[in-house]
Amino acid sequence: MTRFADLPREVQRRLMEETIRTYFDGCNEADVDKMASQFTDDAVHYFPPGLDGPWIGAHTIADNWRRLTMTIDSAWSIERLIGEPESMQAIIEFTHWKPARNSYVRGSEWYKIDPETGRIAEIRAFYASAPDEREANTLQGYDYEANQYHMAPPVHRPHPEAVGYSN
């Protein structure tokens, strides 16, 4: 099998994006296996202080996102994504929707990509501001709608498997 780092740069860039988008699809679907398959086994997801991190291990990361989907209706959208094969890194802007709390958080994440497999080895999450009781956790004064950001979750919530869900 060809090492990820030995693939052509444009192929690496495309695969980085596919990996991150598949991870987000897995988050929105609450699909632990789909999420975990995008990570190295020993991947680490770092968070700002006070947010119960870091999460260590592909299945720990996936299990925790599934738990949040099932308890606070979490959903995620990718607003921007840049892959940089030269450094084996990618960065995204995202929105973490929390419909059960009538709130959302905007932020960015840096991804470290494993040069052997092309899987996610590390995520470092940064938020627009410290989480608090505000409905919208965003950059003050920035016009998200005018800049074509999602203004609602990209998927229906609550998730059909969430506790207390009924049609």
Q: Is the pLDDT of residue 136 over 60?
A: yes
Phi then psi for residue 125, to 5 deg, are: -95, 135
How much helix, strand and coil, in percent to the nearest 5, is found in the chain? Answer: 30, 30, 40
pLDDT single digits (tens) 86-107: 999 999 999 999 888 888 889 9
pLDDT at 141: 65
pLDDT at 165: 56
pLDDT at 161: 85
For residues 153 and 99, the answer to whether their CB atoms sit within 8 Å is yes
Percentage of residues in the chain having pLDDT higher than 90 = 60
Identify the band that residue 68 occupies on the pLDDT scale cut at 50, 70 and 90: confident
Q: Is the pLDDT of residue 166 over 60?
A: no
Least confident of 3-7, 85-89, 111-115, 146-150: 146-150
Nearest to 153 by CA among 102, 80, 81: 102
